[in-house]
Amino acid sequence: MKIAHVITRLIIGGAQENTILTCEGLRLRGHDVTLIAGAETGPEGSLWPQAEARCGRTVKLESLVRAVRPRLDWRCAGELTQLFRAERFDVVHTHSSKAGILGRWAAHRARVPRIVHTIHGMSFNRTQPALVRAGYAFLERRAAKWTHAFISVADAMTDQAVAAGIAPRERFTTIRSGMEVDHFAPDAITRAEMRRRWNIPDDAVVIGTIARLFRNKGYEHLLQAMPRIVARCPSAHFVWVGDGAQRDEYVAALAKLNLRKRVHLTGLVPPDQIPAILTGFDVLVHTSAWEGLPRAIVQAALTEVPAVSFDNDGAPEAIDNGVTGFLVALGDTAALAERSAQLAADAPARHQMGRAARTKCMAMFDYHKMVAQIDALYTHLAD
């Protein structure tokens, strides 16, 4: 088939990594694949080099930007429509909020026979003002009229979309976000090297996070929990992987808590360094206020690192509570601290949960399985 994937930005992020793997996998299965994305990146870093190396044909659209800009958005919709008409794609598959709405409208105008949209995370969520949520929900319901099939990266995304009246449940298929699972594994030598690099003692317990330094990623909750974790586990150290607009604010908060020397901030790192970084962790803490399928939890599990996460969105589908990690109620910083400290203080429990987590995730999140399921969905729509 001749297939176009459209995403708003190729920043370093889960939806973008998922999309690049999908395009590469479909290309290797014999399809003619084009990846279309906006040229705009951000402080998260860019995945354009990986896309150009792995996805075959790529198209940059200067008019496709994240912010709502009506005149530019109208131009983008027109450019997408012209491109779809000229290329006569069999499938247009959209990702993310802006590209999802404009791309599906353009594909409908160009009479593309199969239009698919993946929900990596809801475009309207609990972190937004009510008016913004209502506006996005309205646009998503309109775009659903032009959509032949939805893919959800987690069952929770389907539940939320159906509850919001986006489309009937039978139009949704859960295809879990795929990863290169063979890139992730525990390794004692790499673990020791990472700790030397971070200047953290070998006998310390490392509690890590992988997330932008941004409000909705929940660092405010983690900062509240950290003094309690240290009080119970004095050998605890923290590694924060990522960067963002709130970095200086969080560093100042760490200084006030007298915890700055216990935290190593890596800044931005390329995605191919994440497997090595995870080998240096003992526990992953995930405090995002909203998420689709939290890839950091899965990648930690593949490295035999158990996670403690808020029990929201797709997290319960990545963690078996009490077996491969712990789930706590959204915003419950006392429980977050308790469970994190519990794992930090109990090495045998960490190892047992870590092994169980790897076993669970190896089969569920292999990107080859994801690509095969997406390919099968395209074929089903054609039939």
Residue 295 · residue 274 · CB < 8 Å: no
Across all residues in the chain, what is the average pLDDT? 94
Residues 169 and 206 in one domain: no
Q: Is the pTM of this model over 0.75?
A: yes
Output the pLDDT for position 49.
93
The whole-number pLDDT of residue 340 equals 97
Query: How much is the average pLDDT of 230-245?
Result: 94
CA-based nearest residue to 279, from 359, 191, 343: 191
- 13 and 156 within one domain: yes
Q: Is the pLDDT of residue 122 over 90?
A: no
37 torsion bin: left (phi>0), alpha (psi -120 to 50), beta (else): beta
* Stretch 45-51: mean pLDDT: 91
Continuous segment of H or E residues that includes residue 206: strand 205-210
Total domains in the chain come to: 2
**Cβ 287 vs Cβ 307: under 8 Å:** no
| Same domain (yes/no): 122, 212 | no
Do 119 and 188 share a domain, yes or no? no
Residue 42 pLDDT class (50, 70, 90 cuts): confident
Q: Judge if 207 and 345 occupy the same domain.
A: yes
Whether residue 276 has pLDDT greater than 80? yes
Q: Are 169 and 208 found together in one domain?
A: no
| End-to-end Cα separation, the chain, in angstroms | 13
Mean pLDDT, range 252-261, rounded to an integer:
96
Q: Give the pLDDT mean for 39-64.
A: 90
pLDDT digits (tens, 9 = 90+) for 178-235: 999 999 999 999 999 999 999 998 889 999 999 989 888 899 999 999 999 999 999 9
pLDDT at 169 over 80: yes
- Give the confidence band of 92 by pLDDT, cuts at 50, 70, 90: very high
| DSSP state letters, 242-259 | B--TTHHHHHHHHHHTT-
Find the domain containing 230 and state its range: 181-364
Q: Could you tell me if 360 and 371 lie in one domain?
A: no
Per-residue model confidence (pLDDT) at position 255: 96
For residues 347 and 374, state if they share a domain. no
User: How much is the pLDDT for 68?
Assistant: 86
Closest CA to 288 of 222, 365, 379: 222
Least confident of 1-10, 38-47, 146-155, 189-198: 38-47
Is pLDDT at 44 greater than 80 in this prediction? no
For residue 124, pLDDT beyond 80: no
Residue 356 and residue 377 in one domain: no
Length of the chain counted residue by residue: 383
Is there a single domain that holds both residue 132 and residue 240? Answer: no
Same domain for 42 and 144?
Answer: yes
pLDDT for residue 111: 97
Write out pLDDT tens, residues 296-335.
Answer: 999 999 999 999 999 988 899 999 999 999 999 999 999 9
Mean pLDDT within 369-381: 97
pLDDT for res 240? 97
Give me the mean pLDDT over the 100-129 stretch.
91
CATH of the domain at 269: 3.40.50.2000
What is the rounded CA–CA span in Å between residue 37 and residue 67?
Answer: 14
